[in-house]
Amino acid sequence: MISKPKKNLQIRGTQINYYFICHTKLWLFSHNIQMEQESELVSLGKIIHENSYKRENRDFALDNIINVDFIRKGDVLEIHEVKKSTKMEKAHLFQLLYYLYYLKHEKGISNTRGFLDYPKIRKKEEYELNPTNEAQLEEVFDKIKDIIDGDLPKPVKKPFCRKCAYFELCWV
């Protein structure tokens, strides 16, 4: 179903993801301090992405805001995000839900479903946008804007910090 778009969203999917992982990382990324090109974990994720789902319509970018791993067209537009593990599943989920939200509110496309694909563990989770998670996303948008507009948040030590591309900016 296609309807008239409503909003003018400028938040990127990566920012939604980083909001749930680390506010310091979100702030740095949002201020064009991007360290991922040096990260071994990001490189591993790219290898998994490149070697999985080779027959799919991959790397669908839209408005320089969302970058979907692959889509499937049919009665329902399927949006797929390929991830290497479920460790950051909440961040993955909200990034995916944001893509569905963006398609609905910016492009007028609401007949969608989202999938988190974890090829290493052969797991696939299906999600749909609903009023509850739309409201949650809208709260996250406000919080992201507050973080970006504020001062650099003080880093909070988390178990995965040592593997983060931004580790040296926070802890060295």
pLDDT interval class at 46 (50, 70, 90): low
List the Cα angle 63/86/39 in 5-degree steps: 65
Give CA–CA dist 53/17, Å, rounded.
22
In our burial notation (b when 16+ CB lie closer than 10 A, e otherwise), range 143-166 reads ebeebbeeeeeebeeeeebeebbb
- In this prediction, residue 5 carries a pLDDT of 47
Per-residue pLDDT for 102 more than 80?
Answer: yes
- In this prediction, residue 40 carries a pLDDT of 54
- In this prediction, residue 80 carries a pLDDT of 94
- In this prediction, residue 58 carries a pLDDT of 63
Burial class from Cβ neighbours inside 10 Å (0-12, 13-18, 19+) for residue 69 reads buried
In our burial notation (b when 16+ CB lie closer than 10 A, e otherwise), range 37-66 reads eebeeeeebeebbeebbeebebeeeeeebb
Q: What is the pLDDT of residues 48-73, one digit of tens each?
A: 545 555 555 566 788 888 989 888 88
Q: Which residues contact 34 (CB under 8 A, 6 or more apart)?
A: 28
Which DSSP helix (H) or strand (E) runs through 112? strand 112-118
Q: What is the pLDDT of residues 116-161, one digit of tens each?
A: 999 889 999 999 999 999 999 999 999 999 999 999 999 999 998 8
Per-residue pLDDT for 43 more than 90?
Answer: no
Give CA–CA dist 135/105, Å, rounded.
13
- In this prediction, residue 169 carries a pLDDT of 86
- In this prediction, residue 55 carries a pLDDT of 55
- In this prediction, residue 2 carries a pLDDT of 47
Task: Give this prediction's pTM.
Answer: 0.84
> 115 near 127, Cβ under 8 Å?
yes
More confident residue, 92 or 64: 92
Q: What is the pLDDT of residues 22-41, one digit of tens each?
A: 999 999 999 998 876 554 55
Q: Across-strand partners of 124?
A: 117
